[in-house]
Amino acid sequence: MNLASEAGIATKVRRMATRVRWGHPALAAAGIDPCRLVLEGDPGGSGAFSFLVIGDSGTGRRGRNDPQRLVAELLLAHGQDARFLLHTGDVVYLVGSSEQYRRNFIRPYREWLVEGEHWRRLRHDGLVFRRPFLPVLGNHDYYDLPLPLALLSLLTALPRRLLRPWFNLDVGWHGSFCGGAWSEAFMDGLAAVPEARLAAHLAATRTAPVDGPHGQRALLYRPGRYTRLPNRYYASRWAGIDLFALDSNTFNDPLAEANAPAEGQGLLWQRQALEAEQVVLLRELGGEWLAGRHDDQADDSRADALGRVEELEERIRDIDKQRASAAAARAGRRPQLDAEQLAWFERELVASWRNPAVRGRLLVLHHPPWVTEASKWSQGQTLAVRRQLQQVLDRVAARLGERPGNRPLLDLAFAGHAHCLEVVEVGDSGHGDAGIPWVVCGGSGYSLRRQRPEGPILSADDGTPLARSRVFHGRHGHGAGLRRIYSGLRVDVHAGTPPRFSLTPLVAEQGGGGWHCRPLEPIRL
């Protein structure tokens, strides 16, 4: 059962490029770096600061005790001095629709928005942030509704609204239009600027100088006034720390080498079993509709069931991508790949290491290359993103040669997609990602997932340990002992070079008949 449809990588790249007028001669003529973002007030130097991280948050499914709102309140209480907020993707579920932004994004994060106290009248395409809000695209931010489901959704809009307390699929009558709603909410959409006004618009917004030999200019992010991103992937800097934000949706096609089982019936049988489980869950939910139960326990049960339906949908989608990659390999075709973005990341990371003003480097994207959450650790997309990043980092390491103190190429990396909060430490992987700590922050509001039963150690095929999960917060226990730990994160960057980090989980824990919202002990890296 296809609850959502997803465009191919080439379509995503083309549609997003059109929205920012990628390659337009006016940008080159004005000496503009199309992927550089400068945050107003950057102090430079190597002082201490903090920032916040959330991900996979954008649900409006819970009416009471909304975990997304509880996490947002924790961010406000424990991050008053945070310089910016990173979002690891899936800003709005289920299909990234502009219809859902007011309920699923604007309302829970209203304190971050200018005129957020009047959130009911704010539009997704006119948001101005009080403090920098720096998201990346998640898979749900790209999703659309298949045409039959879109028509059904439109025809049943009124009864679904009346039934929302009992059953909420988090969809309207259309999807994201291939990331269009996300683009309107966060990017500087140059396609909407008339040609005659483009030069004036660029002169008014690309006012920040970029250090380097070419004297380029970049988009200036001005909290409270103009808060737009230059592109779907971008780089920025604060207090000597470079931040690279990638769109992993365009380099996550499973690799042919990882798809040997797709030659036979194994994946097809898995797919059929997952679809059968989906049907059973939806039938059970239909029975609860008729029963009309409406209390906290029933709400939790329905939310868990709908979350499981969505999890099965993602696993089915991953199997379909693996089978498509295997079929392409048999036909002599390569998987789709956004090579331009990866080449940009390679160039920028090398330049960052050669810049004496930079003391550290962060990466944020949606799909985690290293994760132990049960539904994501072995997916074809996980392995593909890992391989693509390893290849880039291998080339960067070769170009840089020996580094001071044998430091990892990235001091800290963030991802979402897996519905949990965990810290995975990569060991000697044999690649350029060795030593990088990965923080998976994807448990900020949507249905949570468990850690895989195989445990916290990720190993190579021959059993050699490659990475270890140091911390995991998500779904734990069963029955009366069930705990759901929703989370955001405060990251404290200490002064000096190389930078050191303290990670403070900000958790809203449901269990034992109530909610407990608090910070946990910091994790020091």
Residue whose token pair is 């226990």: 477
Positive or negative, the CA dihedral 97, 103, 109, 111 is positive
Confidence class of residue 153 from pLDDT cuts 50, 70 and 90? Answer: very low
Exposed/middle/buried for 43, CB within 10 Å: 0-12, 13-18, 19+? Answer: exposed
**Is residue 271 scored above 90 in pLDDT?**
no
Q: List the strands of the sheet with 217-221, edge to edge.
A: 208-209, 217-221, 32-39, 234-238, 241-245, 360-364, 412-415, 437-441, 421-426, 465-473, 457-459
For 210-224, what is the mean pLDDT?
88
- The per-residue pLDDT of the chain, averaged, comes to 89
Task: Print burial letters for 397-418: b (CB count within 10 Å at least 16), e (below 16).
Answer: beeeeeeeeeebbbbbbbbbbb
User: Under a CB-based contact definition with an 8 Å cutoff, are residues 485 and 444 in contact?
Assistant: no
For 302-307, what is the mean pLDDT?
72
User: Under a CB-based contact definition with an 8 Å cutoff, are residues 121 and 400 in contact?
Assistant: no
Share of the chain above pLDDT 90, in %: 70
Under DSSP, is residue 165 helix (H, G, I), strand (E, B) or coil?
Answer: coil
Two structure tokens written together for 184 = 């309107």
Q: What is the DSSP letter of 254?
A: P
Give the Cβ contact number of residue 513 at 10 Å.
8
Q: Cα separation of 377 and 400, whole Å?
A: 31
Sequence letter at residue 293: R
User: Under a CB-based contact definition with an 8 Å cutoff, are residues 502 and 524 in contact?
Assistant: yes
**Is residue 172 scored above 90 in pLDDT?**
no
Exposed/middle/buried for 331, CB within 10 Å: 0-12, 13-18, 19+? Answer: exposed
Q: What is the 3-state secondary structure (H, E, C) of 450-491?
A: CECCCCCEEECCCCCEEEEEEEEECEECCHHHCEEEEEEEEE
Under DSSP, is residue 22 helix (H, G, I), strand (E, B) or coil?
Answer: coil
User: Under a CB-based contact definition with an 8 Å cutoff, are residues 235 and 242 in contact?
Assistant: yes
Under DSSP, is residue 420 helix (H, G, I), strand (E, B) or coil?
Answer: coil
pLDDT score, position 64: 65
Q: Cα separation of 149 and 173, whole Å?
A: 8
Q: DSSP secondary structure string, 369-381?
A: SS--BTTTTT-HH
Residues pairing with 242 in the sheet: 237, 361
pLDDT score, position 283: 75
pLDDT tens for residues 287-296? 655 555 555 5
Q: Cα separation of 401 and 54, whole Å?
A: 34
pLDDT score, position 300: 65
Q: What is the DSSP letter of 418?
A: S
Two structure tokens written together for 483 = 């705990």
pLDDT score, position 159: 47
Residue whose token pair is 């962060």: 362
Confidence class of residue 264 from pLDDT cuts 50, 70 and 90? Answer: low
User: Under a CB-based contact definition with an 8 Å cutoff, are residues 407 and 347 in contact?
Assistant: no
For 365-385, what is the mean pLDDT?
95
Phi, psi of 93 (to 5 degrees): -95, 165
Phi, psi of 118 (to 5 degrees): -110, 45
Question: Residue 137's closest CA among 188, 83, 92, 75?
Answer: 92
Contacts of 219 (CB under 8 A, 6+ apart): 36, 37, 38, 188, 205, 206, 208, 228, 229, 230
**Is residue 161 scored above 70 in pLDDT?**
no
- Euclidean distance between the first and the last CA atom of the chain, given in angstroms as a whole number: 43
Give the Cβ contact number of residue 430 at 10 Å.
12
Exposed/middle/buried for 17, CB within 10 Å: 0-12, 13-18, 19+? Answer: middle
Confidence class of residue 184 from pLDDT cuts 50, 70 and 90? Answer: very high
Q: Cα separation of 453 and 372, whole Å?
A: 9
Contacts of 194 (CB under 8 A, 6+ apart): none
Confidence class of residue 100 from pLDDT cuts 50, 70 and 90? Answer: very high
Paired sense of beta strands 133-135 and 85-87, if any = parallel
For 402-410, what is the mean pLDDT?
91
For 421-437, what is the mean pLDDT?
97
Q: What is the pTM of this model?
A: 0.92
Strand runs (DSSP E) across 94-251, as ranges?
133-135, 208-209, 217-221, 234-238, 241-245
Question: Residue 445's closest CA among 491, 386, 488?
Answer: 488
pLDDT score, position 411: 98
For 76-83, what is the mean pLDDT?
91
pLDDT score, position 218: 97
Give the Cβ contact number of residue 487 at 10 Å.
27
For 74-79, what is the mean pLDDT?
91
